[in-house]
Structure 1
Amino acid sequence: MADPYLVPGSEGLLRNEIGLTTIEELWEAEYHYAEVGAAELFASQRNIRISMRGWRTVHKVLFRDVYDWAGEYRTVFLIKDNERGRSRFCEPSRIEAEGTRVLDGLKATLRHLDHAPFEKIAEEFAGAYVDLNQVHPFREGNGRSQKVFFSLIARRYGIQLNWAEIFPEEHNKAAVDGSFGELGLICQHFRSIAERRSGNTVTLSYPVRQEND
């Protein structure tokens, strides 16, 4: 069955609101618009809930000028090739339930922020990140919106996430390993990028550009 998100007859080009006709141009535009949207969210001090609705809001702000389906769950199955074979993401009908399950667990963890070792909190973020990556709720822009979503959640608790300190290729490998139950590298990443800060000193660290997330 044809993918309804693609330009008919194209080699994988997503339908877009800005009339771009090559994948390379679209990647460039996506990155620009998403970076602007992320800065807008941080500047607004908007209270983003720890919920799938919160993630959808973030995705919509990041990609509203690029895709007419920004902030909406995908309606197609997604499979992505990687160095270990293929990742099969959550089926569309289970996105809301699976995502909510993971985020409820993260909320429960954050209630104990002041009573648990911070390293443990960072590792809980890592586990939730891997699980939500497998949910992969949107047709495109999952990685970028998830990082901004996590940054906004963390800010509420005085936690800085320094995404720019991670090499994209290594982070992709960590996410893939995590999907196979190997959480060592992704936990290492979160321990290295998460730090406690006081007051309003948490800033936006936008992820380094990568081709496809």
Structure 2
Amino acid sequence: MDKFTDPHTGVFYNKLGITDADELEQATKDASLRRLQELAAGYGPQGDTFDAPRLRAVHQHLFQDTFEWAGQTRREAGFQGVKAADLPGTTAVPMHFAPFERIDERLNALGEQLKLENNLRGLPTPEAFAERAAYYFDHYNHVHAFREGNGRTLQATFAEIAY
């Protein structure tokens, strides 16, 4: 277990008092979808930087209704985490996320690099944008800054970059 998970139920600590994982997952999806719509409409964190403070703010906005730890990275709880890399035809080898001690450093470096590329504005073709966006998405995803909600946080972030 980790500091984000109730050791008695195996369910993430949450503001809703839910102790069933499937019920919490659905409640989290419902609430975060509403918050994703707010971000798409221009409400919530805004700006031209995509560094650690910005991603924390996006995560906090998305999950403020569900998790008291919304906006906290794995670093705050000292959680390393791994993900099974079970690709067909390969031996399952765990994929290790970036070291939790270096989350802010890596997010800030990515944000600075992205800023140097003008947040991908003005690229000559949609294909060029897609290539650079995929590069950044892969790197942000490898950092895997949060215990839960990385995909939705990156979805909101990259929707803004694309816009």
TM-score w.r.t. the length of structure 1 is 0.66
Tell me the alpha carbon deviations over residues 68-116 of structure 1, each in whole angstroms, 9 at most, x when there is no partner.
1101111211111131421111111100111122222222223663353
Structure 1 residue runs of 4 or more that deviate by more than 6 Å after TM superposition:
none
Q: Of 27, 30, 35, which aligns to 2:28?
A: 30
Measured after TM superposition, the shift of residue 154 of structure 1 is 2.4
> More relative contact order in 1 or in 2 (CA 8 Å, sep 6+)?
2
SS state at 1:148 partner:
helix
Distance 1:140 1:96 in 2: 17
Bigger drift between 60-69 and 107-116 goes to: 107-116
SS at match of 1:68: coil
Residue 11 (structure 2) aligns with: 13
Query: Does 1:116 find its partner at 2:124?
Result: yes
Residue 80 (1) aligns with residue 86 (2) = no
Give the RMSD, CA atoms, in angstroms. 1.8
Give the gaps of 5 or more residues in structure 2: 88-92
1:17 CA drift (Å): 0.7
Q: Matched residues in 2 for 1:145 and 1:114: separation?
A: 24
Partner of residue 60, structure 2: 60
1: CA distance, partners of 2:6 / 2:14: 9
Cα distance, 1:111–1:72 mapped onto 2, change above 3 Å: closer
**Cα distance change on mapping 1:36 and 1:93 into 2, 3 Å:** same
How far is 1:121 from its partner?
A: 1.9
TM-score normalised per structure 2? 0.85
Q: Is it true that 1:4 corresponds to 2:3 in the alignment?
A: yes
The SS at the match of 2:84 is: strand
Corresponding pairs, count: 153
Overall identity of the aligned pairs, in %: 29
The code of the aligned residue for 2:5 comes to: L
